[in-house]
């Protein structure tokens, strides 16, 4: 059984994001970048399945500028077998990523594609669902537990009312949630081994996918700063402020 894992290079979650002076986006120059945390969970789960003997190969794919290979190397150091880099300097929106992944799925023929439920930069939460739609595959989103056996997957997913377990047939798309696992730190020997692992490079043009953006960003601004709270002397004063100042009642 082969697993394909999609990973994205994003601003590190510990970094305070700053808006560019011209309000066209966020500042990425000289900013620490890392693997999207949800994708890191996806890689960890794939490697655990590999170590358990459930799957035989884990292939990691990332899309974007040359530096995305660093993100792939991180996944390889965690235990993935090989990588694929779709190199492009263009902005990649969820639909374009889903179309590129669909083409790679046709080439690689994996049994399962695992990816994070969303990326922490755009928070779209769309790519996994779009990919399942393009391929016509089963999907299990927001997974907090995954079991693979006999051509099926049992996916326990987080919903508003608690947990829901789906039995889906393979091939399938699975997106990971925070409580699925805790990703490991790559050891120094594995980091060194990762440098020798193969990363195949290709372009959107080679895959025959138009990655032109469908959406246009008009302006990016900082959120309004939260004002300090005030103390009130009575319930009547609270109701008056909620009614006349906050306008919520």
Q: CATH number, domain at 162?
A: 3.40.50.620
Question: d(Cα 217, Cα 50) in Å, to the nearest integer?
Answer: 40
Q: What is the DSSP letter of 233?
A: S
Instruction: Take residue 240 and report the two structure tokens written for it.
Output: 């008056």
Q: Residues 63, 86: contact at Cβ < 8 Å?
A: yes
CA gap 124, 33 in Å, rounded: 19
CA angle 79, 173, 180 (to 5 degrees): 55
Residues sharing a CB contact under 8 Å with residue 27, sequence separation 6 or more, in sequence order: 17, 18, 19, 20
Instruction: Show the domain range for 84.
Output: 2-246
- Phi, psi (rounded to 5 degrees) for 176: -100, 145
**Which residue from 35, 16, 19 is spatially nearest to 27, judged by alpha carbons?**
19
CB 127 within 8 A of CB 94: yes
Q: What is the pTM of this model?
A: 0.87
The tally of domains found in the chain comes to 1
pLDDT tens by residue, the chain, 249 residues: 999 999 999 999 999 999 998 988 889 888 999 999 999 999 999 999 999 999 999 999 999 999 999 999 999 999 999 999 999 999 999 999 999 999 999 999 999 999 999 999 999 999 999 999 999 999 999 999 999 988 999 999 988 888 999 999 999 999 999 999 999 999 999 999 999 999 999 999 999 999 999 888 899 998 888 888 889 999 999 999 899 887 888
- CA-CA-CA-CA dihedral for 167, 2, 142, 186, to nearest 10: 140
Q: What are phi and psi of 33, to 5 degrees?
A: -115, 155
């Amino acid at each position: 059984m082969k697993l394909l894992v999609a990973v994205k290079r994003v601003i590190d979650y510990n970094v305070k994001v700053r808006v560019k002076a011209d309000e066209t986006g966020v500042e990425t120059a000289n900013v620490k970048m890392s693997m999207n945390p949800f994708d890191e969970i996806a890689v960890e789960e794939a490697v655990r399945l590999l170590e358990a003997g459930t799957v035989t190969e884990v292939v990691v794919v990332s899309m974007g500028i040359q530096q995305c290979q660093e993100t792939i190397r991180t996944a390889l150091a965690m235990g993935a077998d090989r990588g694929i880099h779709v190199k492009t300097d263009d902005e990649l929106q969820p639909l374009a990523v889903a179309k590129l992944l669909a083409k790679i799925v046709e080439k690689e023929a994996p049994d399962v594609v695992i990816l994070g439920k969303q990326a922490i930069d755009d928070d779209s939460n769309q790519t996994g669902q779009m990919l399942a739609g393009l391929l016509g595959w089963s999907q299990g989103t927001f997974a907090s537990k995954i079991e693979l056996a006999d051509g099926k997957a049992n996916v326990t997913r987080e919903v508003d009312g608690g947990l829901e377990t789906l039995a889906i047939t393979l091939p399938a798309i699975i997106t990971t949630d925070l409580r699925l696992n805790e990703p490991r730190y790559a050891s120094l020997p594995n980091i060194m081994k990762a440098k020798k692992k193969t990363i195949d490079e290709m372009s959107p043009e080679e895959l025959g996918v138009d990655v032109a953006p469908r959406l246009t960003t008009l302006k990016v601004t900082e959120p309004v700063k939260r004002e300090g709270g005030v103390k009130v002397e009575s319930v009547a004063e609270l109701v008056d402020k909620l009614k006349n100042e906050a306008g919520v009642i």
